[in-house]
Structure formats: C-alpha cells, structure tokens
Homo-oligomer: A and B are copies of this chain.
C-alpha cells in the first residue's frame, strides 16, 4: 500500500511532467508540494526503490508506467470528486479543488465507481481537465495553449482553466469565461494584458496572470470529443 504522501508526490510529478516533460527536478517538486529539497530527495529515493520512478542523480525524476498509473488513479479520484461536488453538492468551481485534495486519498474503489456512475462517467472536471478513465489508460496530451500565447484576431474556445487559484476562478466565473466559452482576441497590450470579446459581445480585459491560466484551442478545432462532458463544465460556476 502507498501512503497519502507518496500518492501526492506521484501526482505532482505527473503534473509537472505533463507540462514540462521529464526529467522533473527536485526543486520543482519541492516548490509544488511546499517541502524542502532535502525532503524531496529523500522521498524520491523511496519512490525509486518501490519502482514508481526512475532517477538520474542531480538530473531529476521520471515516472515509470507503474508510477504513472498511481498518479492517474489519484487524478481520477480528484477530478471525479470535483465534478461530483460541483454537480451534486452545489459547490462552485472555485471551491472544489481543496475539498477534492483532502478526499482523493481516502475514497474506496466502490465510492469511485458509484460517483462515476451517478455522473454518467464524466469526461472532464469543472475546470475542463480530462478525467482518467477507469482503466487508467494514459491521457493523450491536448493541444491547448495559454490564451497569453495567442494573437489579435484569433478566435478560440476555452479548453480548460488552471484550478490552482481560487480568486482567478471566481474572477473568471464572474466574467463568464468557462470551458466551452468562445473568445475573440481584440487586443494584446503591454505587460500581457489581453482584451477578449465573449459570445454575448461583451469585452473583457484580462491581466497576464489570468491569460496564462486559460488554455484555449482554435475555434474550428472545436467540439471534437472534449465536449462530451460539457454538462459538467457548465455546472456550479456561480
């Protein structure tokens, strides 16, 4: 059996690896988990012994297939919980992350199945992140890029939004920007300020930090299979 702590390390390594690719540095993990680098080095040793990661000294870590499976399991729990809380317990999308973090290590497989069944096997969580399937098959990486990398004139659809910052999420819910929203980029000002036009014709100016947290795809690349779970995306963003 793996401890909660080990599960959190594996989840974190997975997420950094998904963004920046392996190897994942000690300090990146330390920052993400708010631990000292020395602590991380020690735990990486344990995870390596258990066959969950491979490691090159002074370079960084990489998940093994087994480690990846554990990470996907935890991520499935996390995202199913987020979806359930938003859909069935009236949580807003800015509140679900912390609650899911606290519960993800403690639910049974039976609970996981029942929650998934209650929601009819949702494909994405309230932030637009894909929910790993029950068989824990690897997730394909998506082609979404931050809004901050796009240019004036682009028309894009919001694919997902980083769920790490409550205030950002509240701001975006207020602005009516959630997964599925279509945005036209009207202006890009100095310091990364992006002005967008929403479906309803309104204009919003978004600071760079927000524009970096919004992942978008081209409008014509839209609605392929990501939208299967858009009922969940729509829910509880008041």
The interface of chain A, by Cβ under 8 A from chain B, is: 85, 88-91, 95, 98-99, 102-103, 106-108, 110-111, 114-115, 118
Contact = CB atoms under 8 A, between A and B. Distances in A.
B99 A103 contact: no
A114 B102 contact: no
B95 A110 contact: yes
Contacts of A103: 103, 106-107
22 contacts: A85-B111, A88-B88, A88-B118, A89-B111, A89-B114, A89-B115, A89-B118, A90-B114, A91-B114, A95-B110, A98-B108, A99-B107, A99-B108, A99-B110, A99-B111, A102-B106, A102-B107, A102-B108, A103-B103, A103-B106, A103-B107, A106-B106
A106 B108 CA distance: 14
Contacts of A110: 95, 99
Nearest to A118: B89
Closest 4 A/B residue pairs (Cβ) = A89-B114, A102-B106, A106-B106, A103-B106
Given A89-B111, A95-B110, A99-B107, 15 more contacts: A85-B111, A88-B88, A89-B115, A90-B114, A91-B114, A98-B108, A99-B110, A99-B111, A102-B106, A102-B107, A102-B108, A103-B103, A103-B106, A103-B107, A106-B106
A62 to B, nearest CB: 30
A98 B110 CA distance: 11
A88 B111 CA distance: 12
Contacts of A107: 99, 102-103
A81 to B, nearest CB: 10
Contacts of A115: 89
A31 B110 CA distance: 28
Contacts of A108: 98-99, 102
Nearest to A115: B89
Nearest to A84: B89
